[in-house]
Amino acid sequence: MICKVLLVETTGALSKRLPELFRGDLEAAGPVAPAQLLEAVRELEPRVALVEIDGPSPEAQRAIEAVMAEQPVPVLLVVQGAEQRSTAFELLAAGALDVFELPARTDGAVLAALRRQILLLSKVSVVRHPRGRRRRKTVSRIIALKPAYPLVAIAASLGGPRALAELLGGIPSGFGAPIVVCQHITPGFSDDLARWLQAETGLKVHEAADGQPLAKGEVFIAPAHLHLLVTAGGTLKLDDGPEVGGFKPACDVLLKSVAQAFGARAVGVVLTGMGKDGAKGLKEIRARGGRTVAQDEASCVVFGMPKEAIAAGAVEKVMPLAQIAAQLARWVA
């Protein structure tokens, strides 16, 4: 089956640099300007929209929000330099699903990787959701640790950056637990994700480091190329082992380590994402007496991961994204 890909660009970079991509099962449509995105999606019915990032673009943000609210389609952002990564997170928060970094030299390996990402997204059923997002708020942080404290672990994939910004933005001051996160994201972007989430939420957010101590009210993001685990002594451990279930970092690896190290003091969360990563780990947290919650379908961009966790019997509560932070606060308190 042919996968139609809508090119959305401002400089012509996609048309100029990617003509060899559109052979066989991929067909290019467009190109169109960001302002034409919604109209083109309605008219051309692409399976994926490929959106060029060329610096800050309020127009692209508004266009993506409109598409996700009115005619949802998977949006893949194309970044051509590290300086554009902050813009990428603004557009991920607007509803784009993923980001691909296009290097200066576009060879066969790069095209093959981009092709795989497009075909993966073409299989995603995107859930319609309202325009816009919650605005950030300032949150005071609490650092002091005691020997026994709870730990919150969050699993997320497609649509995750936006969901994480909303959830973490709702964490109250004085939150009594560290928060560890496994977010499937393009290699090289996890440190940028941590900086963006810190700016959005007011929490102290780190890209996790090996041996780093956990701290209450702080957030630790798995590096994009390493598994993240926790120890019973309250430190982080990075593992360069093989992919698990096709992912590295894998949500199951993190959640299982949290279950084993923290037992009934563990709180597990599965947010929007494709596939079933996280379901086994969340089930282990519940089996050891911890609390578990999954994002509901109506507030998800992609309901795959929460759906699988619910089907596995791993979920204690299914809730709208906007209510999860308050539930975490109740459990942690």
User: Contact at 8 Å (CB) between 151 and 180?
Assistant: yes
Cβ contacts of residue 66 below 8 Å, gap of 6+? 37, 38, 131
pTM of the predicted protein model: 0.85
> Hey, what are 230's tokens?
């926790």
Local structure of 206: helix, strand or coil: strand
Number of Cβ within a 10 Å radius of residue 149: 17
Local structure of 269: helix, strand or coil: strand
CB hemisphere CA count around 110 (13 angstroms): 14
pLDDT at 137 > cutoff 70: no
- In this predicted structure, what is the pLDDT of residue 129? 65
Number of Cβ within a 10 Å radius of residue 145: 13
pLDDT tens digits along 219-274: 999 999 999 999 989 999 999 999 999 999 999 999 999 999 999 999 999 999 99
Number of Cβ within a 10 Å radius of residue 125: 11
Could you tell me the pLDDT band of residue 121, with boundaries at 50, 70 and 90? Answer: very high
pLDDT at 51 > cutoff 80: yes
Lowest mean pLDDT among 28-42, 53-67, 289-303: 53-67
Which residue matches tokens 């996160």?
181
E strands, the chain, in order:
3-8, 26-32, 48-52, 75-79, 98-101, 151-156, 179-183, 204-207, 218-221, 227-230, 236-239, 266-270, 291-295, 317-319
Mean pLDDT of the chain: 90
DSSP 135: P
Which of 101, 34, 87 is CA-nearest to residue 62? 34
Give 130: exposed, middle or buried? Use CB within 10 Å, 0-12, 13-18, 19+: exposed
Residues labelled as active-site residues: 157, 184, 277
Q: What are phi and psi of 308, to 5 degrees?
A: -65, -40
Q: Residues of 162-176 as b/e, b for ≥16 C-beta within 10 angstroms? A: bbbbbbbbbbeeebb
DSSP 303: -
Domains and CATH numbers, the chain: 3-122 (3.40.50.2300), 151-332 (3.40.50.180)
